[in-house]
Amino acid sequence: MARRAQPVHRMETKGQALFTLATAVILTLAATQPAYAYLDPGTASVILQVLLGSVAGAMVVGKLYWAKFKDLFRRKPSKPQDIESQSPGNG
C-alpha cells in the first residue's frame, strides 16, 4: 500500500513564503548601486503638490461620506403614533 502524503500545514506554508520574501528583499537591497541622481528644486514642488492634492482629495471624500458615517451611529426614529391619540382635547 502506498503511503499518503502528509498535508502541509498552513503555518509552514506561510513561514516559507515569509522566508522567501525576506530573502528576496535582502538580496535586492544588497545588490543595489548608487543612482547618482540629481533632484532639482522643482522636484520638491511637485512632491508638495502631490501631498497637498492628496490631503484635499481625502477631505472631499470625507465630506461626501460623513453623513453616511453619522447615520451608522444615529438612532432609528420610533414609529410615529396617531395624532388623535396625542391630542389633549379627546374626550
The reported pLDDT for the residue numbered 55 is: 97
Average pLDDT over residues 19-46: 88
Instruction: Give me the domain span that covers residue 54.
Output: 42-74
* Average of per-residue pLDDT across 5-34: 80
Cell of 6: 502528509
Identify whether 32 is part of a domain.
Answer: no
CA dist list (Å): 26 to 35, 37, 52, 70, 87: 18, 23, 33, 46, 78
- The structure's pTM equals 0.41
> What is the total count of domains within the chain?
1
pLDDT at 40: 86
Task: For residue 21, tell me if it sits in a domain.
Answer: no
Specify if 50 maps to a domain: yes
Q: Calculate mean pLDDT across residues 17-40.
A: 88
Domain assignment present for 89: no
Cell of residue 19, nine digits? 522566508
Mean pLDDT of 23-45: 87
- Specify if 1 maps to a domain: no
Most confident of 36-40, 42-46, 55-59, 70-74: 55-59
